[in-house]
Structure 1
């Protein structure tokens, strides 16, 4: 029987809770929590993460803090194929596009959310029905000094370009491990930004994402060493 209204008091307790459902399908976990499973995730993007948040007792909600605030740990579900390769990039945080004066890496939501991540792989190939997708063993990850340096460098270079009014020319190819991409339900959703001459413009909201080679490498290192 699954304990409802669970709140983790420590890292080991959180990890134990995540490991307890490794091998379960999303359907089995949803049934245990009394939650309906959508037919597909096209209109329910983020549903898998919300399901795990509820089961694991995440507290931050939509606030710009790690999901488990007291522990300083972010939760990330990551769909993978049969070989363990991530099927998509991983969203980290919305990118601020105005009022950038004095913004530093150490104070950014990206920095806060990447200090510690509980990764939960999900066998999520498109042909597998949502309810039958299987949860993998969790991984509690903290960036190595080299990873941290690469993340900070990408963030600083991208934010410098945003501040210089170059947001419209930044593509997903910029950045070694971190990329900036539009994040909006459709092209009609616009927000304020900085234009090339420093004047205000209307542009698509942007978000920071971890690139697939980066997340693939960290999953491989962990699971091949265990």
Structure 2
């Protein structure tokens, strides 16, 4: 298929929401056809494909830059694979975690706080027995963390960052954090980055990413969609 010109960037929150609402009920195959692209057979090698397809339809331009997907609106787009019972099937990647140069970094100025300031959640059918092209897109939800949600995120972030600063990055597991977890984020085991060791010495380790735990995103969806 020949590439089709991407829709323009939405100028207002309302315009973005209208566009997202217009995608609800359509399949990924239908959306791929409209964009002039062929869906992959599955997501094993194309993990970000669904997000990229929806970004294209909604006119997002940030790409992989460390800014919200809709820069002018300050809104981050997050697709979330949903099971038959309306619950998220996996954790949600937010951003890469800084492992060095952490002096003076606080929650208010952190990358993750800016990323989660306002999120457009788009649920998508994610059960593996549904062929990728046949999976439906759900109704969008524009979310801002409540005071309580932000407090939970901040507390986890501060605890995880303290461990990184103290040279304990290798001891952090997915069990740390109530709503936020830190996990290796790399295509392969050769993609190492710098971090601090227990004695403050530089070490090489896998890059880490912040992920929202499924019970946290499930609660967001349940609150708004009354699942």
TM-score by length of 2: 0.96
In the alignment, the residues of structure 2 paired with residue 204 and residue 78 of structure 1 have an alpha-carbon distance, to the nearest angstrom, of 25
**CA separation in 2, counterparts of 1:55 and 1:166?**
42
Please give the per-residue CA displacement for 1:104-162, whole angstroms capped at 9, x wherever unaligned: 11111101100000000001101111101110000000000000111011111100110
Structure 2 counterpart of 1:146: 148
Alignment of 1:1-226 (within 5 A): 4-224=6-226
SS class of match (1:61)? coil
Aligned pair count reads 224
Distance 1:3 1:202 in 2: 42
Q: How far apart are residue 186 of structure 1 and its match?
A: 1.7
**1:5 positional shift:** 2.5
Query: What is the distance in 2 between the residues matched to 1:86 and 1:114?
Result: 18
SS in 1 for 2:81: strand
Instruction: Indicate if the aligned counterparts of 1:92 and 1:207 stay in contact, CA closer than 8 A.
Output: yes
Residue 137 of structure 1 aligns to a residue in which SS?
Answer: coil
Which structure 1 residue ranges, 5 or more long, are not aligned? none
Alpha carbons 1:6, 1:55 under 8 Å: kept = no
Does the Cα contact within 8 Å between 1:22 and 1:135 map onto a contact in 2? yes
Aligned partner of residue 38 in structure 1, secondary structure:
coil
Q: Secondary structure of 2:72's partner?
A: coil
RMSD: 1.2
TM-score, with normalisation over the residues of structure 1?
0.97
Give the direction of change, closer, same or farther, for the CA distance of 1:3–1:204 in structure 2 (3 Å limit). closer
Hey, what's the Cα distance between the residues in 1 that align with 2:77 and 2:138?
14
Shift of 1:3: 8.3
1:6, CA displacement in angstroms? 2.1
Where structure 2 has 5 or more consecutive residues not aligned to the other structure, the ranges are none
TM-superposed deviation, 1:169 = 0.2
1:82, CA displacement in angstroms?
Answer: 1.1
